[in-house]
Chains A and B, each alone.
Chain A
Amino acid sequence: MSFWFWYGLRKGIQTTRYPWAPENAPGITPGRPLATEFASDEEASRAAANCPVGAIHANGRRAVVDLRTCVWCERCHFGVANPLQWDTSYEWARTAAERSASAAMPAAFRKSLHVMLVDAGDCGACLHEVKRLNNPLYNMHRLGIFLTATPRAADILLVVGPVSENMRGPLLKTYEAMPEPKRVIAAGTCAITGGVFGRSFMSAGGVGAVLPVDLEIPGDPPPPLSILHGLLIAAGRRTPSAAPEFVGEEG
């Protein structure tokens, strides 16, 4: 059995240098659509009409993207005559609009953060991307961030999924069982606005309809480093993104 020990050692350190250095390995993020200046008003409104979830808004010649509703179908990027620009970033988590910027994260979160993850009707992708953070390539333990097994020891409630009606009760119970101070993070477009599932008799249309959300991590699903960025914001070690690609924040 000792070969596992030697094997593990021989593999060396595989972990990303993020957040101390930017991680640029190919394929860590699908990137995101950017506000794009088109040649004419018409092209901009065509790009907006082409979006199946109405996340693109035309504003003259400019098309802006609301990342809170974007489902990353990439239909504005591939197979169209005038594609939107995309970047390859991943630092796009931000404070929820309902929370003022002064509602800062508690200082107690700074050195170690215990995260309670709840699957509230998730499709599996966001949940899976959160679990990636435990694998050696991301290894969030090195940053003092842990997934905890019990809400009694949790600082952060990390919710994925649009909050299905059958999970509403367990989600609220989990939240109530957490001690103060506590904060809620909605990870993934479904958890922010309901995504493709929207609001229906079985879907609350986002965590915000059930609990006060402090931090939002857009993405369908958000790649692991976006989630890590969100958790680092919660720990007060990163500042929220000032992404202009949220509707309402740009003139």
Chain B
Amino acid sequence: MTSPPMASNPQRYDMQTLTAAIEQRFGPAVAPSVTDSNGDVCFAVRQPDVLAALSHFLFWEARCAFGGLIVEERDQWNLRYVFRIPRSGWAHFILRLPLETRSVPSISAQVHAADWYEREAEDLFGLDFEGHPRLGDFVLHDQVWQEALTPMRKQFDAQAVDFKKRPRKDWRPALVVQDPGSFAMPVGPVYEGGAAESVHFLLETVGEDVIRALPRLFYNYRAVEKIAEGRPVSDVLLLAERFSATSAFAHSLAFCQAVERALHADVPPRASRLRVALAELERLRRHAGTIAGICHSTALSVSEAHASIIEEQLLRASCQFAGHRYLFGLNRPGGLRRDFDAQTCADLLDAVDNAAAELRKLEERLRYSSSFLDRLEDVGVVSRDSARELDLAGPVGRASGLRNDLRQTCPYSGYENYKFDAPREQEGDGYARLRILFAEAQESIKLIHQALTSMGSGEVSAEIPETWPAAALGWVEAPIGAALHWVRLDRGGLVERYRILSPSFRNWHALHVAVEDFAFQDFPIILATFGLSAAECDR
């Protein structure tokens, strides 16, 4: 798939000018819709054939970021394309089609970032995205599952475990490189002694350099979105925390915010501040872990030990002050499950300050370790254009110059009231990504200080109104990047559809750009600098 060139002199759009431009260009084919009002701006796409032109306009001319694709099976197919309009929040473009429809237009040729979302919808709903070059064999691996199982359809029973799987016995991986002498090196799904998450890579090469890297994911697919359906919010909250536990607080926060927005619930100010502090604590810990992973990948043992001690101390601080090493069981729709007294907050600040000092020391030492820098500098380069084309999430995107931090672009939980930077770099190499991690860790510490001092007293939890049916989008800047949770509650208040758009899903899709044309021995290092989670991608 080749990407259309960027508009040479893009006009800057906000919500108003964008609405006007859409009306002017697409007329009645794309109309503002109030029936889906859930706090975000919604448009109904009335003619499927304008979707490609519309997404090209949004992504390349209006410079909107692509949030993801949410497919819902209701009385019709609802294909909800979420875009983030610069400085103005989210816009949903909804294509409704009769349930008999199997063939829907693909937008992957216009928005490369939509590639995997369409593959996923094809595998799980049986929708055929016209013109998509590579469908099938994605979430449901062909060597295990029959094609056209469509487990996300409403009629499919998740508990039915006794059906025939009919795997394809003749399954072979699809190779791209066909030169004489070329071969593919398989890595995973069980590798590094299992210390790595279950992912499979096919590295195609003719010798030293990786020419094509095809990651194969979804070994950890536990069908979280499917088993959430029909269950009460308090149960689904457990799933939201536990599908990707290394970012548990961020995801439970996104889920709670979706429920709170759907039901128009207010969160007490004290709870919002504590949520910011805990979310930043998790980011800090996660970044320390990623830094330890980068040091490990370059075999610089002492620095790895140093970073992992910092990480362990943050885990212990989380457990000591918040009751759980991975911050489970704290969020609930309407606020937090428990309050923190002044002494706990002060002790937590001490622990965090200690981590800040240690991280600064570590950064200083790494900066003067030439052998370490040699492994990172100019390795795994993602240009700004590629990053934009693939709409990279989180610190990885910011290392390539993107402005994608939702804490600033779409503030939530009161982030607009804090003073902090979202550091960016331009080089897009491994070292830029490492510098971003160190810089963001220090910003997180600043945020924790601001959140926990002069907090004010009051409740930390409010009752949520029971105004279902309702649906809304919740979002956070998780440690890996933007995470969007879509929750629809039915008439009884049970979850009808739960959709997780995770940053790892986005960045796994983009990883090949960084890996290709670099040597084999750079591969683990590049992988470490991306700091990805397979569980978060697979769900």
**A: which residues have CB within 8 A of B?**
1, 3-5, 7-8, 11, 14, 25-30, 52-53, 71-75, 77-79, 116-125, 127-132, 134-137, 147-151, 158, 161-162, 164-170, 174, 195-203, 220-221, 223
Contact = CB atoms under 8 A, between A and B. Distances in A.
A121 B326 contact: no
Contacts of B235: 52
Contacts of A221: 245, 325-326
Contacts of B9: none
Contacts, number: 207
B319 A135 contact: no
Question: Which of B140, B198, B235, B315 gathers the greatest number of chain A CB atoms within 10 Å?
Answer: B198
A199 B195 CA distance: 25
Interface string B210-251: 000000001111111011000000110011001111101000
Contacts of A7: 302, 306, 365
A195 B365 CA distance: 42
B467 interface: no
Interface string B362-382: 000100111100000000000
B325 A166 contact: no
Contacts of B192: 149
Contacts of B108: none
Contacts of A150: 193
A117 B193 contact: yes
A183 to B, nearest CB: 16
Question: Which of A5, A27, A132, A162 gathers the greatest number of chain B CB atoms within 10 Å?
Answer: A27
A119 B197 contact: yes
B404 interface: no
Contacts of A117: 193-195
Interface of B: 140-141, 143-145, 151, 158-161, 163, 189-198, 218-224, 226-227, 234-235, 238-239, 242-246, 248, 289, 300, 302-303, 305-306, 308-309, 311-312, 315-320, 323-326, 328-329, 337-338, 365, 368-371, 533-536, 538
B309 A120 contact: no
A126 B226 CA distance: 23
A203 B337 CA distance: 29
B535 A122 contact: yes
B161 A164 contact: no
Given A52-B234, A117-B194, A136-B309, A201 B189 contact: no
A124 B223 contact: no
Given A27-B320, A72-B329, A200 B536 contact: no
A116 B303 CA distance: 25
B79 to A, nearest CB: 24
Given A73-B329, A125-B246, A135-B312, A120 B198 contact: yes
B316 A25 contact: yes
Given A78-B329, A220-B242, A4 B222 contact: no
A125 B285 CA distance: 13
A166 B309 contact: no
A3 B77 CA distance: 62
A167 B535 CA distance: 13
B172 to A, nearest CB: 16
29 contacts: A1-B370, A3-B365, A5-B302, A27-B325, A52-B234, A71-B242, A72-B328, A72-B329, A78-B329, A78-B337, A117-B194, A117-B195, A123-B246, A125-B245, A134-B195, A137-B312, A149-B191, A164-B219, A164-B222, A166-B218, A170-B189, A195-B242, A199-B159, A200-B159, A201-B158, A201-B163, A202-B226, A203-B222, A220-B242
Contacts of B222: 121, 162, 164, 197, 200, 202-203
A74 B329 contact: yes
Contacts of B300: 4
B144 A166 contact: yes
